[in-house]
Amino acid sequence: MNDKINHGQLFDEQLSKEIKGLFYHVDEDPVLNRKRIFFDNAGGSLRLKKANDVFKNMDELPDCPEHSNYTARWLLSVQEKAYEDIRTIFNAKSGSIVTSLTASMVIFEMNRAIIENVPGTNVVTTALEHPSAYDSVVSYAEKTGKEVRVAKTNPVTGGVDVSEITKLVDKDTCLLSFIYASNISGAVLDVESIIKECRKIKPDLYIVVDSVQHTPHGALDLEKTPVDGINFAPYKFFGTRGFGVGLMSERAAMLPHNKLIAKSVDEWELGSPAPSQFASITEIVDYVCWIGAKFTDLENRRELYAEGMNRINLHERALMYRMLNGSDKAEGLRNIKGVNVYLDYEDLSTRDFIMAVGFDNIDCLKAVKEYEKRGVITFERIASSLYSKRMLDSFGIEGIVRVSPLHCHDVNDIDEFLKITKEISQLFND
Ligand SMILES: Cc1ncc(COP(=O)(O)O)c(C=O)c1O
């Protein structure tokens, strides 16, 4: 395999340092006032300072964006700019934006509108889904008397094969709802092929993609992957909690949904969302474009954004390669005695930076505690949790320590983590 593709490419040292400085609390826990390495970014990511600052500052303003005074109109312009930036993130020229308190609320509403209103006798999803997609499919399929078909996972890749999905789709499929990348294994599904192959079976198939996990790690592109619904969660994407963002295709946006009667049929916004949340999204897009501009002379905002996400992806892949294989500074996870890497698929270009780790002689809960004692934050994904059970069962795994760094980390963070991992393993192997 081409080395650059599989090994990724680190930001240079200067840029890496600059990026770290743009995020809050990368190296310390401000509550405990001590050093730490925060590797639980799939749970909620480290915050971009500007995205948080603008949120805090703008929320001081009482003005209502729909009113006519100067500052109110300014807030409206901030919101309108962010709507454009959401389109930049998705590379979407049409469709309706939908926001809510969480990404789960967004996907529940998207799946509900389709399942309740589009003809068909079955709904297809996968065993790898977050409960927000899976449970919305099951709930509304049950309500409308539709069959639920669940595609199997692949324990080698950590994902779902295209053929496992296509074999469940037929002319009577009302909706295909699947995850872009797994928040347990990090596997990125072959979204382009899934869409292409499924629409060969049913050309007008409705498709919803949960891209909450992938959005912070790679560029989305609805021009290449046209779907009817897609979403992300700003708090996992360098931003703030309390917001979920989605986009519906033109045809899906017209389906019956909750709305004020006087508003247009494709309007999905309900009530008065906080302008500060929108301002925060513009800061995130500005930041990714700033990275992009370091690597290209292009000036178009979408092209800069795509380049920035591509560079983030390559940097994370290089960190992932180092975490797995080590360096002259520290042994890699693949080589530390007593440590297992689950779902360790060779082709890192099909992975977001999530590692599923286990120890021979300690269970996951204990391992997470041992990491915390040493200033490293990870998270246990265990079969007793409703957020992990179906996915882990599908792989035949009881539990993992999920390790999820972010692009604002550098090689020193990875090396330190590896040394601590070895220390924990040795402690319980001796
Ligand atoms: C893949 C995936 N989808 C959806 C969600 C739900 O996001 P939210 O917490 O905003 O509802 C999560 C959250 O962990 C997730 O990882």
Q: Where are the domains of the chain?
A: 3-49+309-429, 53-285
Tokens in use for 364?
Answer: 């996951």
Superfamily of domain 3-49+309-429: Aspartate Aminotransferase, domain 1 (3.90.1150.10)
Q: 161 CA distance to ligand 1 centroid (A)?
A: 22
CATH of 53-285, one of 1.20.1250.20, 3.40.50.620, 3.40.630.30, 3.40.640.10: 3.40.640.10
Q: 139 CA distance to ligand 1 centroid (A)?
A: 18
Sort 28 into a burial class: Cβ within 10 Å, 0-12 / 13-18 / 19+.
middle
Distance CA 333, CA 96 (A): 44
Q: What atom of ligand 1 comes closest to residue 235's alpha carbon?
A: 10
Q: How many helices (H) and strands (E) does the chain have?
A: 14, 15
pLDDT value of position 6 = 79
Do 53-285 and 3-49+309-429 have the same topology in CATH?
Answer: no
Q: 106 CA distance to ligand 1 centroid (A)?
A: 10
Q: What atom of ligand 1 comes closest to residue 210's alpha carbon?
A: 3
DSSP 181: B
Is 102 touching ligand 1 by the criterion CB < 6 Å?
A: yes
Q: What atom of ligand 1 comes closest to residue 179's alpha carbon?
A: 1
pLDDT value of position 2 = 65
Burial of 158-191, coded b for 16+ CB within 10 Å and e otherwise, reads bbbbbebbbebbbeebbbbbbbbbbbbbbbbbbb
Output phi, psi for 58, to 5 deg.
-70, -30
Over its length of 430 residues, how does the chain's per-residue pLDDT go in tens digits? 566 667 999 999 999 999 999 999 999 999 999 999 999 999 999 999 999 999 999 999 999 999 999 999 999 999 999 999 999 999 999 999 999 999 999 999 999 999 999 999 999 999 999 999 999 999 999 999 999 999 999 999 999 999 999 999 999 999 999 999 999 999 999 999 999 999 999 999 999 999 999 999 999 999 999 999 999 999 999 999 999 999 999 999 999 999 999 999 999 999 999 999 999 999 999 999 999 999 999 999 999 999 999 999 999 999 999 999 999 999 999 999 999 999 999 999 999 999 999 999 999 999 999 999 999 999 998 888 888 899 999 999 999 999 999 999 999 999 999 999 999 999 988 6
Query: In the block, which residue shows the tokens 């990275």?
Result: 291
Distances in whole angstroms, Cα of residue 292 to Cα of each of 85, 120, 165, 344 = 15, 43, 34, 30
pLDDT value of position 94 = 96
The residue whose CA has the least distance to atom 7 of ligand 1 is 103
Q: CB neighbours of 218 closer than 8 A, spacing ≥ 6?
A: 181, 188, 309, 310, 312, 313, 352
pLDDT value of position 231 = 98
Q: 381 CA distance to ligand 1 centroid (A)?
A: 14
The residue whose CA has the least distance to atom 14 of ligand 1 is 43
Is 233 touching ligand 1 by the criterion CB < 6 Å?
A: yes
Is 103 touching ligand 1 by the criterion CB < 6 Å?
A: yes
Q: 236 CA distance to ligand 1 centroid (A)?
A: 8
Strand 37-38 and strand 376-377: the pairing is: parallel
Cα Rg of the chain (Å, integer): 22
pLDDT value of position 385 = 87
Q: Check if the beta carbon of residue 402 is closer than 8 Å to that of residue 310.
A: no
